[in-house]
Amino acid sequence: MADTLISLLKAFVVGGLICCVGQALLMHTALTSARILVLFVVSGVALTAVGLYKPLVDFAGAGATVPLLGFGYSLAMGAMQGAHADGILGAVTGGLVRTSAGITAAIVFGLLAALLFRPHAKR
């Protein structure tokens, strides 16, 4: 029970700090939310490439893998694993294979939301 609570606390703190960085960027820079999204994904890839993100994932679990940095981490890890297994073609397809379930879920839930609710353009 105590181990589960500590794991939840770690995930909450790390995920919350990542979100705080994003909010600070929104509030104190001229960056748009789309640019911050790209910055986070690319940062996740870069931090994974130099070996800094995996220890954070091992420490915080979902607190590090669920935010956008975690998507970059998944892309990079898939590409590296694919490259080791299948060479250059694996480097291209590995990231897609590793992240396909999350991308599919986003598309399916987006479609369900559009079918259940009445989407309209913002004015």
pLDDT in tens, 58-105: 999 999 988 888 999 999 999 999 999 999 999 989 998 999 988 899
In-domain check, residue 123:
no
Residues 42 and 72: beta-carbon distance below 8 Å:
yes
pTM for this structure? Answer: 0.80
Cα distance between residue 36 and residue 75, in whole Å: 17
In-domain check, residue 122:
no
Which pLDDT value is given to residue 120? 76
Tokens 């250059």 sit on residue: 88
Tally of structural domains, the chain:
1
Tokens 């399916």 sit on residue: 108
In-domain check, residue 31:
yes
The stretches of 29-87 forming alpha helices (DSSP H) are 33-49, 53-60, 62-65, 68-86
In-domain check, residue 17:
yes
In-domain check, residue 98:
yes
Query: What is the span of the domain harbouring residue 72?
Result: 2-116
